[in-house]
Structures are given as structure tokens and as C-alpha cells.
Amino acid sequence: MELKIKNGKVYQKNRFVAADIGIEKGRITKLKKNLPRDSDEVINAKGKYIIPGIIDAHVHLRDLEQSYKETFVTGAKAAAHGGISTVLCMPNTLPPATTFNVIKKLNERKKDACVNIELFGGVENNFSEILRFGDFVRGYKIYMDTKSFSRNSLNESFNFFRENYENKKLKLVKPIAVHAEDGELIEKFGRENKICEIEAIKFVSGLAGKSGFPVHVCHISTPEGAETVKKSDLTCEVTPHHLFLSKGDYEYDNVNPPLRTKHDRLKLWENLNKIDIIASDHAPHTLEEKEQGASGFPGLETMLPLMLDSVNKGRLTIRRLIEMMCERPAEIFNLKNKGKIEIGFDADLTIVDMKRQVKLLGDNFCGKQKWTPFEGWKVKGIPTDTVVGGKVVMGDGEVV
């Protein structure tokens, strides 16, 4: 064996069992008690829980012309530090990932990262380019909140996907992720009006069946949005900042969709059973840019600690956390051999210490940006080790 993880409690088939994990050639090859000692490397997980590697389906890794904010290398280190083994990168890079050439450049950047990186291809009236994306992308992303957005353009995009799959120019059905805030309604009512999200989801739901492709709604921020998704065939995600922060809790709280009232935030928790996955929407900016109104927060290194703390506080079960952060992301985005701890699956694993208490401090981050809206928050439960493809990328809290 190349790596053995011993003495931990392993999450397998909806329960934790005492077992060792044997790993060879990047795959899980053995799952049983008291494995022999013939391994090159050993992790002693005594007193800890071993769960499938966390999958973050919504990150912005910047790079290219925004490398001063984050790169694939630094973002991957932040992910590893946060217990995350796989990230899905959004296409609003600079230049945007709407052409084959940019997609190809970003694909090259993946090779130097210590975690798995998958790409979304942007959809922006670039249909001839989309046909070239092929296996370079895991899915597609549509932004409804831009000034150039119209409901007609969304209809045209969904028709494009249906027609080109039917004529076999698109060979695989891949999920379409949607930023569901209606740009036309934002112009009319302002972004903070909940109707911008709710009506966008309703409109997407009405069109989704036309595409023949699964549609995923990004960063739900309202309980009404979650309820609307539940009534449809869509899937959706929620971010930690929409679960933990209310409008005004943080001085520089600009984010899209916006933070809501405390009442709406708590109602979002009540609707967690209607939401498929938790994703960070990691959106790093320099602190100077943030103070000037830039939208978004770093999130890769705070997401899992915040959610583990919530498990300790009884807000959700560890089983539900694993479902939302491992199993469902793998299912929705067709990440084969990920999301579960089974023989033959990729050796992507996260080891967590549910008893350890820490303060969240930006100075301890591995990403380029050393700030967080959760600065100084005390949490109980943290990732201590991250394994990606059988390689230890974080050991005992230190990124390798």
C-alpha cells in the first residue's frame, strides 16, 4: 500500500464504522480493521472521522489577468486547507472562459494545483465556441444578472443545448448552472428586492425542460427561492455566508445575491431540506477592492469549519452534511468515483476532528487573500487532513 489511514471512524453506507483505509494508485483498495503495516505512509486518525473529500461546486479561482487576487495554485492550497478535494471553477475569469482558447489555458493551469479542479464554460451568445469545449468543461454557466441578459437570450441558449444534443454536435448532457437573479428586474426594482431571485427561478424552471439538460440554481438566498426550486425539477445550492450572515452583520457585506434579513436567513436554515448542496462561492478580492464595494467573500477555508460547528450545535446532522457536500455534488455534476468511501473509488478523503476548537483568522489562510467576514468566529470541528488522489495535501492542519 502507498498510504494507510488507521484508527479512524470511516463514513460508509450512511454510518461510521471502525476501519482502516488502504490506498494504492490513487484509489481506495482496502477497507477493513487492522490492515497490515506494509504501507509507505501512514496517517493515524485516532479520535477523528474520515469522510469523503469535500466537493465545492462554486468557486472563483481568478488567475490569468486577476492572478493578484488568486491563482489556481493558491486557490487549490486554500481548498486543501479547508478540507476540500475538488472544486468547480466558474467562468467569469478575465478574460472570461467563454472561448475555447481561454478554456484551454485554464485547463493547463489545473496541472499545478494540489486538488482536483473542474471548469464551467460560460454561456454568452458564444454557441460556436461552446461546441468546441468538449471534455474540457464539467458544465455550463449562465448569468441572468447582467445588463446584457434578456429572457429571450436565455430561451435561445436552452434551445441551443437541446438542438445540438439532438443533432449530436454536443455529445454529453452536462448540467447548466444558473445565476438566478433577473437582470431586467434588478434594473427595475434593485437587486435587494427578493422578487429578482424568485421570479428568475420561476422563469428558469419553466424553461428547463426545453433544454433536455439538468439545470442547477446557484447560491439560493431566500426561503421562497428554496421553496420554488423544491417544486421543480431543478437542483440548487446555498452558501455559508447566506446561512450565517444577515444584512449589516459585516461592514463590507456586498455580495450577489445580497445578504438578507435575519428572518429570511433563519428561514433559509428551516428550508435546508429543500436544498441539494452547500457551496462556498469563494470570491477573493483584495481588501482594498472589498472596501470599495467589490462583491463576494473568500470562502474555501471557512466553509467546512462553519458547517462542522453547526453539526456540533445540532443544526444539521453529519450525515446531512456529507450528503450536501460530498454525495450530491458528485451526483449532480457527474463526478464519477467521487463523493463516497468505497473500494475502487478515488482516494479523495477529508479527516475531521469534531472536538477541536479554533478561531477563524484570515492571517492563517493559505489563499492569497487574508481576510474573512467570519474573522474571530470560534468554531468547534475542523478538517485536519486532506487526501487527493491518494496524496496527502494537508497533514495535521498544514498544507504540504
Distance CA 152, CA 156 (A): 6
Average pLDDT over residues 373-397: 99
Cis peptide before 257 (omega within 30 of 0): yes
The CA dihedral of 215, 220, 222, 228, to the nearest 10 degrees, is 20
In words, the CATH class of domain 3-50+346-399 is mainly beta
Residue 300: pLDDT above 90?
yes
Tracing cell 440548487 back to the chain, one arrives at: 236
Top pLDDT among 154 and 57 is at: 57
Whole-Å CA distances, 30 to 33, 35, 346: 10, 8, 12
Query: Which pLDDT score is estimated for 359?
Result: 99
Residue 47: pLDDT above 90?
yes
Task: Write down the CATH number for the domain with range 54-332.
Answer: 3.20.20.140
**CB of 202 closer than 8 Å to CB of 208:** no
Could you confirm whether 281 is annotated as catalytic?
Answer: yes
96-108 CB burial, b ≥16 within 10 A, e <16: bbbbbebbeebee
Distance CA 90, CA 141 (A): 7
Q: Which amino acid is residue 251, in one-letter code?
A: E
% of the chain surpassing 70 pLDDT: 100
Q: Are strands 54-59 and 277-278 parallel, antiparallel or unpaired?
A: unpaired
Distance CA 271, CA 89 (A): 26
% of the chain surpassing 90 pLDDT: 93
Query: Which pLDDT score is estimated for 390?
Result: 98
Query: Which pLDDT score is estimated for 38?
Result: 80
Q: Please give the DSSP secondary-structure letter assigned to residue 124.
A: S
Question: Which residues on neighbouring strands pair with residue 44, listed in sequence order?
Answer: 6
Q: Kindly indicate the confidence band of residue 46, based on its pLDDT and cuts at 50, 70 and 90.
A: very high
Distance CA 131, CA 2 (A): 40
Q: Which amino acid is residue 385, in one-letter code?
A: D
Catalytic residue among 281, 309, 348, 385: 281
Average pLDDT over residues 298-323: 99
* CA nearest to 385, candidates 71, 20, 53: 53
Query: Which pLDDT score is estimated for 122?
Result: 97
Q: What is the mean pLDDT of the chain?
A: 96
Distance CA 285, CA 298 (A): 8
Longest CA–CA span in the chain (Å) reads: 67
Q: List the domain boundaries for the chain.
A: 3-50+346-399, 54-332
Residue 82: pLDDT above 90?
yes
Backbone dihedral region of 49: left (phi > 0), alpha (psi from -120 to 50 degrees) or beta? beta
Query: Which pLDDT score is estimated for 286?
Result: 98
Same fold: 3-50+346-399 with 54-332: no
Distance CA 6, CA 42 (A): 7
Query: Which pLDDT score is estimated for 171?
Result: 87
- What is the per-residue pLDDT across 333-354, written as a single tens digit (0 to 9) for each? 999 999 999 999 999 999 999 9
Average pLDDT over residues 147-170: 90
The answer for residues whose C-beta is within 8 angstroms of residue 122's C-beta and 6 or more apart is 91, 92, 96, 97, 98, 140, 141, 143
The answer for residues whose C-beta is within 8 angstroms of residue 195's C-beta and 6 or more apart is 185, 189
Q: Kindly indicate the confidence band of residue 211, based on its pLDDT and cuts at 50, 70 and 90.
A: confident
Average pLDDT over residues 65-72: 99
**CB of 47 closer than 8 Å to CB of 76:** no
Element (H, E) at 127: helix 127-133
Tracing cell 475502487 back to the chain, one arrives at: 344
Residue 245: pLDDT above 90?
yes
Question: At 116, is the secondary structure helix, strand, or coil?
Answer: strand
Backbone dihedral region of 355: left (phi > 0), alpha (psi from -120 to 50 degrees) or beta? alpha
CB burial of residue 36 (10 Å; 0-12, 13-18, 19+) = exposed
Query: Which pLDDT score is estimated for 36?
Result: 86
Distance CA 119, CA 159 (A): 22
CA quadruple 173, 177, 180, 186: dihedral sign? negative
Average pLDDT over residues 325-331: 99
Average pLDDT over residues 118-124: 97
* CA nearest to 144, candidates 94, 232, 215, 87: 215
Q: Are strands 378-388 and 349-359 parallel, antiparallel or unpaired?
A: antiparallel
Residue 77: pLDDT above 90?
yes
- What is the per-residue pLDDT across 15-42, written as a single tens digit (0 to 9) for each? 999 999 999 999 999 999 989 878 789 9
